């Protein structure tokens, strides 16, 4: 599943905007209160059916306007689709591919996983937060679950109203409520139970990977039903008997005292209650693992990955957890927000979108200086997945392309910044990731090509990069000039190395 674009009209800060997305990582960056999270809110609206911020539709409308609309275009395995929501003067419309639909038919058409720092509440706060997490996740997967939640809400409201009513009390009406309540509750319980079992497997794997095998996570379903009850008929019977047993207590309390509306989840790390004993970092790991698990289950059930929406998440994570998140971006569409671009500069093919006062602008031009006064500027720097930079320039329909591939484990941040600051002087535009034989830079202009190998260790000096016969032949076939430079040499004479490269490039373009 890939989100292609979203249209916002009179939505919070935004008057009228259309934002397009790539199928990889999309970064919305800018200062606080400029409209970054608003985009995620609008996108997630179509997965959840309402705003994650709560409140009324009238609160979302741009000042001095009477309504708003949001619309997304996305692709699934079965083709292209649109979803739209319109609110005007108190009237609401939901459209799927241009046709009006009720909310239960809209939920599940588009799947997304939303994660923000506030989701630590799933671990730390009240049981209602954990039930809400389950309900949102299951509603995206199963249309019947949406209907069951609606039926349960109506039955619970009716039963509680009856329990609070003045005597004489109608016990037969209470039992009629409980009979319906038992069937609906049993079905909700079985959906939740199956989901939690799948979720626990995913969470355990994620926590194991993040902690380097030091931590084990478990999820326990706290509910009214014994674990051995797994058949629908048995669960209905159990709930029916339970509600009968609670009749006198509920009558005295004037409220429902049992049922799925009181379910809870218990998370443990190494067999200790995570809510009470886990560190803040461990709790963040569980919250992150829950969201990763939610996405994996959607992918498994639906046959395609959801869209991941991360709201200023990296800024709240330590380096290990941050690196873990970044390592899992491959093959997933992610739309993320941040105040700064820094954490995402080492990723391949990140689409940068600047956000200011409700306006969204794709980064396409850095207005970089000309190279030798003859090459038109045509784009911006695109760091690749290993911390390097890819640059492409053009002159008279002849291409000069620069690929940069750093070996992250061998280069310090200072060394990377030296190359970054140097290479950014070239006019550039985004390219798909392409790595050539682990060399750091590959300049080529048709018949003339230069490769510069930059490595911070002694590994290649001792072994020799050209020792591999197959690799040597490939290099010879491509008629390459190879220059081998160790980082220590660059540090001693960085200016001289850069001047040499400049001279070679000028000669290639002559």
Here the tokens at position 49 are 């059916």
Here the tokens at position 70 are 């949001």
Could you write out the DSSP letters of every residue in 413-471?
HHHHHHHHHHHTTS----------TT-SEEEEETTEEEEEEEESSSHHHHH-GGGSHHH
Has residue 506 got a pLDDT over 90? no
Has residue 490 got a pLDDT over 80? no
Q: What is the largest CA-CA distance in the chain?
A: 100
Calculate mean pLDDT across residues 477-497. 47
pLDDT band (50, 70, 90) for residue 391: very low
In 3D space, the residue among 267, 350, 276, 270 whose CA is nearest the CA of residue 310 turns out to be 350
Query: Alpha-carbon distance 453 to 464, whole Å?
Result: 11
Sheet holding 264-269, edge to edge: 217-222, 264-269, 272-273
Contact 344, 336 (CB under 8 A): yes
Which range, 379-383, 440-444, 506-510, has the best average confidence (pLDDT)? Answer: 506-510
Pick 194 or 467 by higher pLDDT. Answer: 194
Domain 1-111+306-359 has CATH 3.40.50.880: no
- Per-residue pLDDT tens over the stretch 2-32: 999 999 999 999 999 999 999 999 999 999 9
pLDDT band (50, 70, 90) for residue 501: low
Percent of the chain with pLDDT over 70: 71
Sketch the domain layout of the chain as residue ranges.
1-111+306-359, 112-305, 382-509
Contact 282, 86 (CB under 8 A): no
**What is the per-residue pLDDT for 313?**
86
N-term to C-term CA, the chain: 47
pLDDT band (50, 70, 90) for residue 460: very low
Q: 374-407: string of b/e by CB count within 10 Å (b at 16+)?
A: ebebebbbbbbbbbbbbbbbeeeeeebbbbbbbb
Beta strands 25-29 and 334-338: pairing type? parallel
CATH homologous superfamily for the domain 112-305: RecF/RecN/SMC, N-terminal domain (1.20.1050.90)
Look up the pTM and report it.
Answer: 0.71
């Amino acid at each position: 599943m890939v989100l292609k674009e979203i249209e916002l009209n009179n939505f919070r800060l935004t008057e009228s905007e259309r934002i397009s997305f790539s199928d990889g990582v999309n970064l919305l960056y800018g200062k606080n209160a400029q409209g970054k999270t608003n985009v995620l809110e609008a996108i997630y609206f179509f997965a959840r059916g309402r705003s994650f911020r709560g409140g009324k539709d009238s609160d979302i409308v741009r000042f001095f306007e009477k309504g708003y609309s949001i619309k997304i275009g996305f692709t699934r395995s079965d083709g292209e689709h649109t979803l739209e929501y319109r609110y005007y003067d108190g009237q609401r419309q939901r459209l799927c591919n241009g046709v009006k639909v009720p909310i239960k038919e809209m939920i599940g058409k588009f799947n997304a996983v939303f994660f923000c720092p506030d989701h630590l509440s799933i671990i730390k706060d009240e049981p209602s937060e954990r039930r809400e997490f389950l309900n949102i996740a299951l509603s995206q997967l199963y249309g019947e679950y949406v209907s069951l939640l609606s039926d349960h809400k109506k039955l619970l409201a009716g039963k509680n109203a009856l329990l609070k009513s003045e005597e004489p009390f109608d016990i037969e009406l209470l039992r009629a409520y409980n009979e319906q309540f038992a069937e609906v509750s049993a079905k909700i319980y079985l959906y939740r139970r199956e989901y939690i079992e799948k979720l626990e497997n995913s969470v355990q794997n994620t926590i194991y990977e993040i902690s380097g095998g030091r931590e084990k996570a478990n999820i326990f379903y706290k509910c009214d039903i014994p674990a051995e009850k797994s058949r629908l008929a048995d669960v209905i019977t159990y709930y029916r008997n339970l509600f009968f047993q609670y009749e006198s207590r509920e009558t005295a309390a004037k409220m429902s005292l049992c049922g799925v509306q009181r379910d809870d989840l218990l998370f443990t790390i190494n067999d200790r209650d995570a809510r009470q004993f886990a560190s803040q970092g461990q709790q963040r790991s569980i919250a992150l693992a829950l969201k990763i698990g939610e996405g994996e289950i959607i992918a498994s059930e639906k046959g395609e990955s959801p869209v991941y929406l991360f709201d200023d998440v990296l800024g709240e994570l330590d380096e290990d957890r941050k690196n873990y998140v970044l390592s899992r971006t491959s093959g997933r569409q992610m739309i993320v927000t941040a105040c700064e671009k820094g954490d995402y500069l080492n990723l391949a093919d990140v689409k940068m979108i600047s956000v200011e006062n409700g306006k969204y602008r794709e980064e396409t031009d850095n207005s970089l200086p000309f190279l030798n006064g003859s090459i038109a500027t045509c784009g911006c720097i695109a760091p690749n997945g290993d911390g390097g930079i890819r640059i492409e320039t053009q002159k008279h329909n002849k291409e000069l392309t620069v690929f940069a591939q750093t070996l992250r484990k061998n280069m310090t941040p200072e060394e990377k910044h030296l190359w970054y600051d140097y290479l950014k002087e070239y006019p550039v535009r985004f390219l798909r990731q392409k790595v050539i034989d682990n060399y750091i830079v590959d300049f080529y202009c048709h018949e003339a090509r230069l490769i510069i190998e930059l490595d911070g260790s002694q590994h290649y000096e001792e072994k020799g990069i050209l020792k591999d016969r197959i690799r040597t032949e490939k290099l010879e076939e491509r008629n390459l000039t190879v220059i081998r430079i160790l980082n220590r040499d660059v540090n001693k004479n960085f200016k001289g190395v850069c001047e040499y490269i400049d001279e070679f490039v000028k000669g290639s373009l002559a």
